[in-house]
Structure 1
């Protein structure tokens, strides 16, 4: 999938689910889940890379199983974990770089996400995944990047507590993402691709939070 944009984004948060065929018998709606992305869905690959972007220390993971950090950039489960449970999985696909990524553990899938990996057209692989048998693919949209705490810290905030330019960049990217997904589905027979809109629900939480019973002060 090729998406051209002249706009540069401070942070790119995008991930891809691929539901693959497998001969491993299990009571799930799909046989396996392959995940690509960055810190939004990294389950520990960065623990095995030489990088400053790691999530293997407290208090990260305090709400996860055993209250221990797992390499997830989150206090508990990721969206991909919840998706896997919804689809009937009793355990989560391992980080591909971890020692657990071997044998039968790989029959339920693998996670290739790496924090701070960003978006690079040279690593776009949807056509390759289709060639390997992937027919059900889910892609997450960008969130309201201009409303992220890191963005506001770096650039200050403008309308509605967000950095307008960067928020608008994310919206333009999402529009092109939807268009590219539609075109790809037309080009590849049997492909089912869904774009998960995470922009709107997250933006609704920010503007205004009082709608959900939250008060804030500037």
Structure 2
């Protein structure tokens, strides 16, 4: 008897199977990390990896109020734009040195935590400095300046030689790019007058290239870059464009940009010998979004979905789920079970989705950086 499940569905399931089968062996990850002297995780980027640096900035781009953080420790809103942990928190926990990655600008950050990793990321930032400047947040250039401050503090704490070793063996994570398109290119007039979409992608990829070269000059030898998600499937984008389905032109821009990221990483590997890994955030989220629509024809597929746990992928958990994020999510009611949602607000993933992304990132680390 021939299967009635479409081939695209089978392929999607195959792509998800490592995540669904619990393929990430934490014990193995920690063994490999120890074997290869991985010391900590140092993070750069936007709201996808900002644990609260923006709390210290004069910017409206903050998430340090309820309902953000309702599933975090003590139900505490930290500045993370989700209900609980970020993907970088899960990555650090898997490696084994800390349960969360703190914000470098957190006034309560104790020096003893510095060797275990920090985040310099700033919500609403991007590879383009203009993107950060539009919201008065930290551009990558400023995040790299704080990396220098981090190294000085670390040297005072553990000595120059050990501090150098910690940075050299750290995993540097870069996660940004979404705001460059959604809050800059597609919203503001400056860049579209200067660049076509393709040219702007090249500009962003070149900025990333230079950022990683600067990180390498500051000691980085291992870099993980997270690709941009399917921009056209973000609930807010669908709402603003009046579409019920993903906006194909936005998704195509994301796919094209991600391809250019991978090209630049290949060049960096050849020219400066940096070890790198690429995390296919686009594919992970796209699979989660598509599967509930496509995978409803058999009991086996329903069981797979229950294991994954994501039943609502078209809107967020906060408020209506179609337009609220950041300050407009403040004090709003939320869905009964965020673990069934891919999106927490109209822009950002839930803790559940971040865990899935982290699993993919850890697999990439095993393959490209550690193993």
Answering whether residue 226 of structure 2 is matched by residue 140 of structure 1, we say yes
Quote the residue 1:78 is aligned against. Answer: 86
RMSD (Å), alpha carbons: 2.3
1:97 offset after TM fit, Å? 1.3
TM-score by length of 2: 0.48
Answering whether residue 252 of structure 2 is matched by residue 192 of structure 1, we say no
Quote the residue 1:154 is aligned against. Answer: 240
Answering whether residue 259 of structure 2 is matched by residue 175 of structure 1, we say yes
Answering whether residue 134 of structure 2 is matched by residue 126 of structure 1, we say no
State which of 67, 80, 92 in structure 1 corresponds to 2:100.
92
Answering whether residue 74 of structure 2 is matched by residue 66 of structure 1, we say yes
Contact 2:88 2:101 in 1 (8 A): no
Instruction: Give the match's secondary structure for 1:142.
Output: coil
Q: Can you list the C-alpha shifts for 1:26-77, whole angstroms capped at 9, x where unaligned?
A: x796212110010001000011111111111111111111111011001011
Quote the residue 1:163 is aligned against. Answer: 247
**Structure 2 gap ranges (5+):** 1-33, 130-139, 142-207, 296-304, 315-371
Contact 2:71 2:83 in 1 (8 A): yes
- Tell me which moved more, 143-152 or 105-114: 105-114
Q: Partners of 1:177 and 1:207 in 2: how far apart?
A: 24
- Tell me which moved more, 93-102 or 31-40: 93-102
Identify if the C-alpha distance between structure 1 residues 103 and 188 changes in structure 2 by more than 3 Å, giving closer, same or farther. Answer: same
Say which structure, 1 or 2, has more relative contact order (CA 8 Å, 6+ apart).
1
Question: In terms of Rg, which structure is larger?
Answer: 2
Quote the residue 2:286 is aligned against. Answer: 203
Q: Can you list the C-alpha shifts for 1:166-185, whole angstroms capped at 9, x where unaligned?
A: 11000000010111111111
Instruction: Give the match's secondary structure for 2:125.
Output: coil
Greater fraction of residues in helix? 2
Q: Partners of 1:171 and 1:216 in 2: how far apart?
A: 20
Q: Can you list the C-alpha shifts for 1:84-124, whole angstroms capped at 9, x where unaligned?
A: 00111234332111113452222222211111112216844
Q: Can you list the C-alpha shifts for 1:135-157, whole angstroms capped at 9, x where unaligned?
A: 11100001000000111111122
Contact 2:46 2:123 in 1 (8 A): yes
1:132 offset after TM fit, Å? 2.0
Q: Partners of 1:61 and 1:81 in 2: how far apart?
A: 13
Q: Partners of 2:108 and 2:272 in 1: how far apart?
A: 34
Q: Partners of 2:225 and 2:265 in 1: how far apart?
A: 9
Quote the residue 1:9 is aligned against. Answer: none
Instruction: Give the match's secondary structure for 2:108.
Output: coil
Contact 1:39 1:115 in 2 (8 A): yes
TM-score by length of 1: 0.79
**Structure 1 gap ranges (5+):** 1-26
Quote the residue 1:32 is aligned against. Answer: 40
Count of aligned residue pairs for this structure pair: 189
